[in-house]
Amino acid sequence: MLDNMPRGTICIEDIEIGMMRYLHKVVTDRDIEMFAEISTDHNPVHLDDDYANDTIFEGRIAHGMLTAGLISAVIGEQLPGHGTVYLGQSLKFLGPVRPGDRVTAEVEVTNIDLRRRRVSMDTRCLVNGKKILVGEATVLAPSRKFD
């Protein structure tokens, strides 16, 4: 279950540098299994305890892109929200997410190009306050002028 701040679309005209939104999600075994099915990534480091215990992670981990998908959820549901078009995303994975971890996904506005409706954001995911994913996103934000 997602524990979100209030949802809603924020139009480009109302976005300000420094705005932030976030969500929390506990990653479950079911999430990992479903992501494996959808993505067709059945790497045993995600699905097989015996295999994963013998890796550098010493146990199963969630798919990195499952974690990155939480950034997409914040962008698409909260900031800017519905009607946003993803234009680009860079990602750097700093640590694993394990089944049962509570991930906090955050986005923070760093630049606004009002004329082109472009918004740049720092993106990050944390587990227990430790960054496990960082990156930058560029999106095309909704505008009241195009409603």
Tokens of 141: 């934000």
Residue 9: inside a domain: yes
CA dist list (Å): 95 to 14, 92, 98, 131: 34, 9, 10, 8
CATH of residue 21's domain is 3.10.129.10
* Domain count of the fold of the chain: 1
Angle 85-90-94 (CA atoms, 0-180°, nearest 5)? 135
* CA nearest to 56, candidates 95, 93, 102: 95
What pLDDT is recorded for position 145? 79
Per the structure, the complete domain to which residue 95 belongs is given by 3-28+62-146
- The string of pLDDT tens digits covering residues 36-95 is 999 999 999 999 999 999 999 999 999 999 999 999 999 999 999 999 999 999 999 999
Residue 76: inside a domain: yes
